[in-house]
Structure 1
Amino acid sequence: MKKLSSLGLLFLLILFLSGVSQIAFAAENPQYGGTLHLSNDADWDTLDPAYASGFDAGEMAVKFYDGLVRFDFSSNKIVADLAESWEVKNNNQNFIFHLRKGVKFHNGVEFTAQDVKYTFERLYDPEVASPGTWVYPMIKGTAAKLAGESAELAGVKVIDDYTIEFDLSEPFGLFLTHLTLPYGLIVNQSAVEKYGADFSQHPVGTGPFKFVEWEHDNKLVMKANQDYWAGRPYVDQVIYRVIPQPLTDIAEFEANNLDRTVVPEEERERWLNDPEWSDYITTIADLSTYYLALNSDFEPLDNPQVREAINYAIDSKTITDSLFPYYVAANDAIPEGMPGGSDLPIKADPEKAKQLLTEAGYPDGFELDIWVSDSSTSVRVGGVLQALLGRVGIQVNLIKNDWSVFYNTVKNGNAPAYYLSWWADYADPYNFLNALYTTDRIPFNNQEINSLLKEMTITTDTDQRIRLSQQIIKLADQVGDPYIYLYHTSTSYVKHPWVKGDLYHQMYTADKLLTWWIDQDLKAESTN
C-alpha cells in the first residue's frame, strides 16, 4: 500500500478520533434552533434521485431522502438507514432487507416495501430515462424492464410491507455500497405522480429536511423534519446560496453571511497560516485522481514502450510542486488514504524516457495532441505537461475547447491524449479501477485485468480486495499503462467558531446535516 502523506494521515486521524469527537460533541450540549447558512458554486440540475448524476445533486438529495443503507457519519462503513437489518445469502447474490416501521414521507404517507420496489422499477422505466441505470444492472430483470419488455423488475420482490428481497443475476459483493448512491434513495409513488415532470423541483422523501423553496441560481431553502424517524436535525432551517465565484464566496463568509465554506485554492496558504482561522480549518483528502489518458487507437500511442516513455517523462511531483502544493503527487489510480494503492515509484526520469523512445523507433520524438478543457486549471496543467514532454522531444499541441466539445471528443474516443479526472462514486478501489480500465474512451482491454476486476466484484473480504487492487495496478504498469497519474486533490473548509457538530466525510452522500448545530450565544457574542 502506498505511503500516506501528512494530509492522508490527517484525514485518517479525523476518522480515528471520531469516537472522541462524539463524546466531546455530546458534552457540549447541542442546541436546537437557528438557521445554517451554506453555499454551493453552481445551481442544482435536479432534486430527483433518479437523475442525480452529479455530486451537487447527490449531495443535496440525501438531505431530503433516505436509502436502505448509508455511510456511517465517521467512517466508510455501511450502516442501516431505512433498512433496520438485512440478510445476505447465496454468496452475495440474494439480499433480504427488513425495513423500519412507522417511517413517513414528507407528505404523510407511510413508507413500505412497495416504495422500494417502485423506486427501482422507476429507475429502469425507459420513459424515465434515468442516467443511473448503470448502477444496478446486476438486479435480475433490469435489461427487460429497460427495454420495455416487462412491467416489473423480476429481481425486486416484496415479501410483506416491511420486507423486501433483491435477487441478483450473479454474486456482487459491492451491492450494499451501490445502494448508497443517490439513485438508490427511496421515493414515494403518490408524490412522483402528483408533481409529474416537476417532481425534480419538489422533493418529497423521508429525509431529515423538508423542501421549502428553490430560487434557481440564487438559493435553496429547507426546514427540519420535526418527525424524522432518527430524530429531528438540530438546526431549524438551512439556506444554501448559489455563489459561483470562490473569492465572492469567501468574502461572504468573512462578512458572517455564511457559516462554513471552502477555502479557495489560490488562498489556501493565507488561510492556513492565519492564526485567527487556523483552528477552524479542516483539510481532507478527496477521493479523486487526475490523469493524462493515452488512446492507443492513435500511433504511436499503440506502442506500450512509447506509453512507458511518456510516463517516465512526466514527473507528477513537479506538477504538484509548481501548481498545487497542497495536493498529493500520484503514483497510481487509488487516492491518498484509500486502501488498495501500490508502492510503485513515481517514474520521473527524462533520460530513461529518451532511451525508451529511441528503442521504440522515435529517437527524435513525435508530435502529440493533448486535449484539455478551457478551464484555467486544465490549461495550466496542460502547459506543464507540454514542457515536461518537450524535454524528451515530444512536441505537444495543446487542444483547448469548452467542456462540451472537449468531453464529447473524449467520450467518443476521438482524442489521442486528454487530461481528465475520476472522482469516487463510492469509497472502494474497484470504483476507480473498473471505471478506468474498462472504459470505451480508450481501447484498453486486458483479459487478466478484467478477470481480476471480476474477482473484486464478488468478494467482500477487505484484504482480498486490497490484494486484487494492487495486482491490477502492477499489471497495468507492466503492459504499458494507458494512464499517467498526476495528482490527488484535497479540500480545506473553514467555519465560524459557533458552528458545531460539522462533518468532514470523503463521500459526498454521507452528510445529512443531522449532527450540525449552532451555538447561539457564541454567534451573538461574535457578531455583535
Structure 2
Amino acid sequence: MFIFACNKQNSQETIRSGTGKGGRAYGGVFRVSEAEYVKSLFPPSIIDGFSYRVASQIYEGLFKFDTHTLKVIKSLAADYTVDSSQTIYTIKIKPEVYFHDDACFPNSKGKEMTAEDIKYCFTQLCKESADNQGFILVKNIVKGANAYYQASKNGKKPSFEVEGIKVIDKYTIQFILDKPSSVFLYNLARPGTFIYPREAYEKYGQDMNFKSVGTGAFYLANTDAEIAMILKRHERYHGTDSLGNALPFLDAINIRFIKDKKNELFEFKQGKLDMLYRIPTEFILDLDSAMAQSPRKGEYMNYELQRSPEMLTQFLVFQTKEGVFRDVQVRKAINFAIDKEKILNFVLNGEGDAAGNHGITPDIFEDYKIDNIRGYAFSVDSAQIYMKKAGFGKGKKFPKITFTLNAEGGRNTLVAVEIQKQLKDVLGIDVELVTAPLAQVVDDAQKGRFELLRVAWLADYPNPENFLHQFYGKSVPNDPKQISFPNISRYKNPVFDDFYEKALNAKSQAEANNYFAKAENQLMKDAPVAIIWYDESYRLLFKYVKNFPNNAMQYRDLSQVWLEKSK
C-alpha cells in the first residue's frame, strides 16, 4: 500500500486542551467517513461533493457560506465594495493570513497570502488546461477571461494579462466584470475559487490533486490511499469565532473511506465514528422509530438525528448525441416508465424529500416553486405510447442498454436494480448495470462514454442556477471527443439558452426565477434527464459533537466544531 505523508508543521505542533470562551472545548479528533474516495483536492479540479467536503477544510476563498443560513459571508476578504455599475468589485483581504507550512516555500515555512496570490489563482482559472474545470466561474463574467482562455489553448502562454483582474495593493484585489452578474459573489465562495500559492503549483503540478497547500483551518497531514485521510490543525490559522476564540478547536480530523453503509453504521455504533451521513436503507424505519421514542432508550440516548431537505437531486442522464437516446420520444418513454414514488417509499424507505415528479431543481429555494415545472409522473400508458411513437411497437424490440453508476454505499445499486426491473416490466427493455468507482464514472461522464448514467447533483451554492447551468448548450464543445462538463448530456437547445441567459442578466431574483422556470420547463420537455427523487440530509451525531449545524448543501466548516468530552 502506497502512503505519502506531508510531515508538515510537526516541530511546532502542540496538543491543546482546556476551555475557551463560552465553555467551548479545545482538543480532540473528529472522526467521519465518506462512501467514496476523493477525486481531487486541487481547487480548479473539484467537481464532486466528496472532494469538496474535504477541500473546504484545507482551502479558503475570498468568501464562504454561513453554515446556518447558507448566506455568503466574508472569509479571506476583510471588506469589499461594488461600484454603481455593479461591475467593479474591490476587495480588501485580511492581513497576516498564512499558507500551511510546506516544502514548496523557503525553509518550508508558509508565506503570508497577498493579493498577488489571488490574482494568480484567478488567472489560472482563465487558462485552458486539463486540470481546470473552473473556467465556467469566470467565463462571460470577468472582463478579458474569454480572450485569455482562447489565447492559452494548446498550452500557449498568453502575451497579455486578464483585463478584469487587478492588484491594487498588497491587500487589495479588484475584479472588473463585462456586465453585472447575479452569481459572481456566489462564485467567489465556490471551491473552484479557493486560494492556493503559486509556489505549490509550480512545485507539484498535477500532484496538487493530493498535495494540498491552502490557508484553511486544517492541513493535509497524510493519506493512506483509498482508506483514510488525516487533517491536522493549522497552527497559524487566522480565524476566530464570534466569541473571540482562536480557531480551530479540534486537533485533527480523521476521514475514513467506508463504501459499505452497514459497516459504517457498525463503526458508528461502536463509537469509532462521530457522525454518520446517510443511513443504510434497511435500517431507516427502525432508527426513526427508536429516535422518536420519549424518552429514548439504550444507545439512542447518545445520538442526535438531523434530518432536513437537501439541495440535491438524484436523476438519470441520457446520452443525447448518439444511440437510441437521441430520440426525445424514447427519453420521454423512459421518464414515464419509472415509478418514482415506489422507489422513494419502498426502496429507500422514505429516505428522501420527495419523488422526482417535477424538474431538476429541488423544492428548497424561496420564491422558486417547482409545482410550476411540469415533469413526468409514472404512467404505463404514456410510457408505451411514446415508445410506439419512437418506432418500437409490436415486432420491433428495443436494444439492450447499459446503465452506469457508482455504488456509493449500496443505495445507488438498490435504486438501479429497481429501475432495471421497472423498465423491463413496463417497456420490455433489457438493462445491463455497470458499477464503477466514482473517479471512473466522472471521467466517462465528461467524455460521453455512457448510454444511461446515474447522477446526483449537489448544489455548491444556493440558487436554482446551480442546477440549470449544467444544461447550458453553449458550454458544450463542438468536438465530441472533447470533455464536456457540466453539460455531460451534451444537451443543446437555443430556447433553453435564451431563457437561461435572460435569468443571469435579470435585475432581481424574482425576474431571474421567472426565466429560470421557463428554461427548466423547456428542459423537461426535451427530457435529457429522468428525475428520480429530491434528496434529504440524514445525519446521526453523537451528542458531544457541538456547533455542527446541518444545512441543505452539506456545506461543512469544521473549524468551529468542538467536542464536549474527550475521547
Q: TM-score with structure 1 length normalisation?
A: 0.82
- For residues 379 and 201 of structure 1, do their structure 2 counterparts lie closer, same or farther at Cα, with a shift above 3 Å needed? closer
Equivalent-residue separation in structure 2 for 1:227 and 1:507 (angstroms):
28
| 2:119 equivalent to 1:110 | no
Match of 1:146 in 2: 152
- Answer yes or no: is 1:277 the counterpart of 2:300: yes
| 1:312-327 matched pairs, under 5 angstroms | 312-324=336-348, 325-327=350-352
Structure 2 counterparts to residues 402-413 of structure 1, below 5 A: 402-403=435-436, 411=446, 413=448
Q: 1:263: how far off?
A: 4.2
Shift of 1:470: 2.0
CA change 1:308–1:437 in 2 (3 A) is farther
2:262 partner letter: L
Aligned to 1:119, which of 118, 121, 140? 121
- Assess, with a 3 A threshold, how the Cα gap between structure 1 residues 469 and 154 changes in structure 2: closer, same or farther: same
Give the match's secondary structure for 2:132: coil
Deviation at 1:186, TM superposition (A): 1.0
Tell me which amino acid in the other structure corresponds to 1:261.
L
| Counterpart for residue 187 of structure 1 | 196
- Which residue in the other structure is 2:564 paired with? 519
Shift of 1:280: 0.9
CA separation in 2, counterparts of 1:219 and 1:408?
23
Pick closer, same or farther for the CA change 1:170–1:144 going to 2, 3 Å. farther
2:542 alignment partner in structure 1: 496
- Using a 3 Å threshold, how does the CA distance of structure 1 residues 249 and 387 change in structure 2: closer, same or farther? closer
Residue 287 of structure 1 aligns to a residue whose secondary structure is: strand
Match 1:252 to one of 253, 263, 267: 267
Relative to structure 1, is the Cα distance of residues 321 and 226 closer, same or farther in structure 2, using a 3 angstrom cutoff? same
Aligned runs of 1:58-97 on 2, under 5 Å?
A: 58-89=52-83, 91-97=85-91
Determine the structure 2 residue equivalent to 1:5. Answer: none
The farther-off stretch of 255-264 and 407-416 is 407-416
- One-letter code aligned to 2:378: A
Deviations 1:276-300 (A, max 9, x none): 4375111233322222344555687
The 8 Å contact of residues 368 and 416 in structure 1, kept in 2 or not, is answered as: no
8 Å CA contact 2:471, 2:491 repeated in 1: no
Tell me how far apart the structure 2 counterparts of residues 144 and 226 of structure 1 sit (CA, whole Å). 41
Distance 1:180 1:309 in 2: 39
How much identity, in percent, do the aligned residues show?
22
Instruction: Tell me how far 1:195 sits from its aligned partner.
Output: 5.3
Q: Deviations over 1:410-445 (max 9, x none)?
A: 555565544433332332211212213536654643
Q: Which amino acid aligns with 1:143?
A: Y
The answer (yes or no) to whether the contact 1:66–1:186 under 8 Å persists in 2 is yes
Larger mean Cα displacement after TM superposition, 159-168 or 124-133: 124-133
Alignment check: 8 A CA contact 2:424 2:430 kept: no
In the aligned structure 2, how far is the partner of 1:241 from the partner of 1:31?
24
Q: Which runs of 5+ in 2 are unaligned?
A: 1-19, 101-108, 241-246, 291-295, 477-486
Query: Whole-Å Cα distance in 1 between the matches of residues 446 and 46 of structure 2?
Result: 20
Query: Which residue, 146, 160, 170 being the options, matches 1:161?
Result: 170
Which moved further from structure 2: 201-210 or 426-435? 201-210
The alignment partner of 1:396 has SS state of: coil
Aligned to 2:404: 373
Distance of 2:42 and 2:541 partners within structure 1: 29
* 1:27 Cα offset (Å): 10
Report the CA distance between 1:185 and its aligned residue.
0.9
Cα distance in 2, alignment partners of residues 501 and 411 from structure 1: 37
CA-CA distance at 1:221 after TM superposition: 2.6
Query: How far 1:128 moved relative to its partner?
Result: 7.2
CA contact (8 A) 2:127 2:135 kept: no
Shift of 1:252: 2.1
Which of the numbers 220, 227, 241 marks the counterpart of 2:256? 241
User: Distance between the aligned counterparts of 1:272 and 1:446, measured in 2?
Assistant: 44
Alignment equivalent of 2:187, drawn from 141, 153, 178: 178
Asked if the contact 1:305/1:480 (under 8 Å) is kept, the reply is no
Aligned residue number for residue 136 of structure 1: 138
Measure how far apart 1:453 and its partner are. Answer: 0.6
Identify the residue that residue 7 of structure 1 maps to in structure 2: none
Contact 2:41 2:54 in 1 (8 A): yes
Task: Tell me the SS of whatever aligns to 2:68.
Answer: coil
Which residue in the other structure is 1:468 paired with?
515
Matched-pair contact (CA < 8 Å) for 1:316–1:346: no
Determine the C-alpha separation between the residues in 2 that align with 1:269 and 1:326. Answer: 9
1:35 matched residue in structure 2: 29
TM-superposed CA distance for 1:396, in Å, is 0.9
Q: How does 1:421-432 map to 2 (within 5 A)?
A: 421-432=456-467
Shift of 1:247: 2.5
| Conserved 8 A contact 2:88-2:176 | yes
Query: 1:250–1:262: 8 Å Cα contact kept in structure 2?
Result: no
Q: Please state whether the residue corresponding to 1:452 is helix, strand or coil.
A: helix
Residues 496 and 320 from structure 1, CA distance in 2 versus in 1: closer, same or farther, beyond 3 angstroms? same
Query: Structure 1 pair 395/414, CA: closer, same or farther in 2 (3 Å)?
Result: farther
Q: Deviations over 1:341-382 (max 9, x none)?
A: 421465223234445555666553851544312645555434
Question: Structure 1 residue 103: deviation in Å?
Answer: 2.3
Distance 2:68 2:231 in 1: 24
Write the distance in 1 (CA, Å) between the matches of 2:26 and 2:441.
48
1:21-59 C-alpha deviation (Å, 9 max, x unpaired)? xxxxx9962222222222333444444324333322222
> Structure 2: which amino acid aligns with 1:110?
E
State the shift of 1:162 in Å.
1.7
Measure, in 1, the Cα distance between the counterparts of 2:130 and 2:446: 23
CA contact (8 A) 2:128 2:149 kept: no
Aligned counterpart, 2:361? 334
TM-score using structure 2 length: 0.77
1:386-413 per-position Cα deviation (integer Å, ceiling 9, x unaligned): 4444555x22121333438876665555
Using the TM superposition, name which of 427-436 and 293-302 deviates more: 293-302
Does the Cα contact within 8 Å between 2:99 and 2:113 map onto a contact in 1? yes
Matches within 5 A, 1:192-207: 192-193=201-202, 199-207=208-216
CA shift in 2, pair 1:422/1:259, >3 Å: closer
Could you tell me which of 307, 315, 340 is aligned with 1:291?
A: 315
Contact 2:423 2:430 in 1 (8 A): no
State the one-letter code of the partner of 2:402: W
**Residue 336 of structure 1: how far off its partner (Å):** 3.6
Which position in structure 1 is the counterpart of 2:10?
Answer: none
Q: Distance in 1 between matches of 2:517 and 2:138?
A: 26
| Alpha carbons 2:277, 2:539 under 8 Å: kept | yes
CA distance in 1, matches of 2:118, 2:57: 18
- In the alignment, which residue of structure 2 is the partner of 1:209? 218
How far does residue 489 in structure 1 lie from its aligned partner after superposition? 2.2
Secondary structure (helix, strand or coil) at the match of 2:307 reads strand
Cα-Cα RMSD: 3.3
**Distance in 1 separating the partners of 2:149 and 2:563:** 48
Give the Å deviation of 1:206. 1.9
Q: In the aligned structure 2, how far is the partner of 1:409 from the partner of 1:238?
A: 32
- Tell whether the 8 Å contact from 1:369 to 1:417 is kept in structure 2 after alignment: no
Give the partner amino acid of 1:290.
Answer: Q
TM-superposed deviation, 1:335: 1.8
Q: Tell me if the contact between 2:404 and 2:450 (Cα under 8 Å) persists in the aligned partners.
A: no
CA distance in 2, matches of 1:236, 1:403: 35
